[in-house]
Structure formats: C-alpha cells, structure tokens
Structure 1
Amino acid sequence: MSLTDLLRDGTWTTPPPSAVVVDDELHVTAAEGSDAWRHTSYGFVHDTEHALLEPLPAAGAVEVSFRLDYTEQFDQAGLFLRVSPTEWVKAGVEVSDGVAQVGAVVTHGTSDWSVAPVPEWVGRQVTVRASRSGDAVTVRARVDDEPFRLVRVAHLDPGATVTAGLFCCAPTRDGLTVRFTDYRRTEPDAGLH
C-alpha cells in the first residue's frame, strides 16, 4: 500500500488540519496541542494524535518513513499501532530538550516512554518498523539505508484487533508539517535478533 492508498483508505484517529500528497510525499500538518499520552508522571490524558491507520494482521509488519526536518520541543512523527483508546504504541523520533530522540511510548492503560538520542539523524530519512508476531510487537528504526536498530519489544495481545499506520503530533506549537516519504506493509521479522 502506498501513501496515496493509505490517505484514501485509512482512517484518522484525529484528522489533521492538512494532509496532502506533494511529489509522492504525504505532507501532514499537525494541530498545536496534538499528542498521545495517558496519565504517567504528567497526570493528563491526551488522545489527539494525528494517526492514519489501517488493519494490521496478527502476523504482519508496517514501515513508515519520513524526513527528520523538525526541531521544536516535542515535535514527533513515526508509526502508531492502536488496539483501543487505552492500549496503543507510538514509535518514532521526538525532539526532547533540544535533541532528536528515537523511542517508543507503550500504553496499556498508562503510558511509558523510552528514548535514545539520535542528533546525527536530523535532516535525513528515518524509517520506523513495527513487526507483530505472537504476543509481541518489535520496533526497529534506521536512518537512510543504515541497518535497523532495535528500539523496543513490547507486549501485544496476539488476539487483539490492531490498526497501524503513520502519525505525527505537535504538543507545544503550531506549524509542524511532517514529510512522510514511504509507507509499506511487509512480512513480520523472522526473529528478534
């Protein structure tokens, strides 16, 4: 499935102010205050992310690619897997304290967050991959054509109905536009290592 197909056939969790195809890229503009988080540490629930989703089978994988050309606090983009309003995973690159960070938020009622700094990825194409197999989802990421690196292994009920796709959020500012460059569905990873 291409970005154009996803835009035509997918469903937004929260429609963005703008989503247009430009030269085979999908440019998504996020609303100020958009975010996805539940309770932990901050005490609030935000469920206003702009995630464009389609069904993901129990044994399948999805990859989302985008240009990492955003630099403001908490700007974020990547992929989103959703079971329900209280169970979901977002993974990608978020700017935190002035540094691009690859990471994931896993939510089973409450959210947790793991990150690692990747300042050398700024200005390049990032690909985030989520592979669903058995009772787990394995998240990997890479920049350009470098090898994928492991970001997170998280529990995901093997019987859950899951939708997956791309997402972006702009919790603290107006004007973030993310340039998504590719979207594809693939077979799940053969192994964890």
Structure 2
Amino acid sequence: MHKAGFSGGVWLNEPSRWSIDGDRLMLTTENETDFWRETYYGFVHDNGHAYLLPADDGFTALLRIRADYTANFDQAGLMLYLDDSHWLKCGVELTDGDRFLSVVVTNGRSDWSVCQPFRELDDFRLRMTVKDGSVLVHASRDGHTWSMLRVASFASSARYQVGPMACSPSRAGLEVAFSDFSIGPASTEPLHAEM
C-alpha cells in the first residue's frame, strides 16, 4: 500500500472554498468550526473540515502544512477518523496567544495535549503511524528531524480514514495549504533511539 497525493478523498464537512492543484490542497475554513467531544467543556463539536482517504491498518501518513494562525484556536493538521466518537487530530493550534503542536485523541470523549518541541510552525510536517490499536505522532520542521508528540491508544480497525484537517472555532477564514501527502506502510523506525 502506497498512495501519494489527494485523489480519491472525501470531505467530512466540505468548506465552501477549497481546491486541489497538483499535490497541493488549499482550503479556507468556515465560521466557528471544530472537532471536540464533551470533556471539560461539555459540548460536542463535529463541524470541522477534514479531507479523508482510506487506509488499511498498519500505515504511516505524512503531510506538510502551511498556514498563518491568528485567531484563538485556529488549527490545521492531520486527522485519523473511524467514526464521530473515535478520531484523532494533530497539528498546530493557536491557544492562549501562542502556537502549540497539539494532539486530541477521542475514544468516546476527547483529551488534549500540547507541546512546543520547536516554535517555527508556519510551515511544518506531520507523521502519523497507525498499527495494532496504537497511534504514534511526530512533527518536523524540515522532514528530516522528527520530534515525538504522542503515543496513544486508539480503537482497532481493519480500515481507517486519514487526511488533512482544519478548524477555526472563533472565526471564519483560516487559509491553509496542505502538500506532500502520502500514505504508505507503517514505519519500522524504533520508538526510542538506542542508548
């Protein structure tokens, strides 16, 4: 299994403005869009934008993301989707006036973690490996040096959907360019470097 580019995807909450040009997907978010389920805030939001492609269990997805995050909770990245109660989104999120690399894992209810292994986040890459009920998420500035963001448990399935995601919970108009998207066999790199 190896797929590069965006052909064959389907929208979860299609935005009114989007285009595919070669290996680049561009979109502009609609007003007050987000993905979240219950935890702490009590609400369920499932109107964020995701362009999803099929993938069998045991894959690694790569994606490059470019955007200018200016409003609270602006976010863009990569989504793993099984159903409306089981999904994972990762990427940049602007919160409390700063940009963080963020991972939200939803297994019935959402949890949220943030970190800043690097601060240059206008143009970065994500790598997600899904295998045997686990998800490993890395981020990189250059596509060569990767920082681990999360190891998470996730619902096991023979088939998933994965692809670019963007939301703007406090406004409309976040413009995002996604590129260098691929789905291939699960990475065999060790989780930890040998000491």
Normalised to the residue count of structure 1, the TM-score between the two structures is 0.90
Runs of at least 5 residues in structure 1 that lack an aligned partner in the other structure: none
Q: Is the 8 A contact 1:70 1:178 kept in 2?
A: no
Does residue 91 in structure 1 map to residue 69 in structure 2?
A: no
Which residue does the alignment assign to 2:14? 15
CA distance in structure 1 between the aligned counterparts of 2:110 and 2:96, rounded to whole angstroms: 20
Partner of 2:141: 143
CA contact (8 A) 1:88 1:107 kept: yes
Most deviating of 160-169 and 35-44: 160-169
Q: Residue 104 of structure 2 aligns with which residue?
A: 105
2: CA distance between counterparts of 1:133 and 1:145? 21
- CA deviation map 1:155-188 (0-9, x unaligned): 1233353111111001101211101122111221
Q: Which residue of 2 aligns with 1:176?
A: 174
**2:152 aligned residue:** 154
Runs ≥4 residues deviating over 4 A: none
- Cα deviation for residue 146 of structure 1 reads 4.7
> CA offsets, 1:42-69, max 9 Å, x none?
1100001100111111111111111142
Partners of 2:40 and 2:158 lie apart in 1 by: 27
SS of 1:121 mapped into structure 2: coil
Name the structure with the higher helix share.
1
Distance of 1:22 and 1:158 partners within structure 2: 34
Give the structure 1 partner of residue 119 of structure 2: 120
Distance in 2, matches of 1:49 and 1:116, equals 22
Deviates more, 1:161-170 or 1:139-148: 139-148
Equivalent pair of 2:68/2:175 in contact (CA under 8 Å): no
Specify the code of the residue in structure 1 equivalent to 2:25: L
Question: Which runs of 5 or more structure 2 residues have no equivalent in the other structure?
Answer: none
Percent same amino acid among aligned pairs? 35
CA RMSD of aligned residues (A): 1.7
1:38 Cα deviation after fit: 0.2
The one-letter amino acid of 2:178's match is F
Kindly indicate whether the alpha-carbon contact (under 8 Å) linking 1:60 and 1:188 is maintained by their aligned counterparts in 2.
Answer: yes
Q: What CA distance in whole angstroms lies between the structure 2 residues aligned with 1:85 and 1:154?
A: 18
Amino acid of the structure 1 residue aligned with 2:115: A
Alignment of 1:20-31 (within 5 A): 20-22=19-21, 24-31=23-30
Shift, 1:2, TM fit: 4.1
Q: Which moved more, 1:101-110 or 1:137-146?
A: 137-146
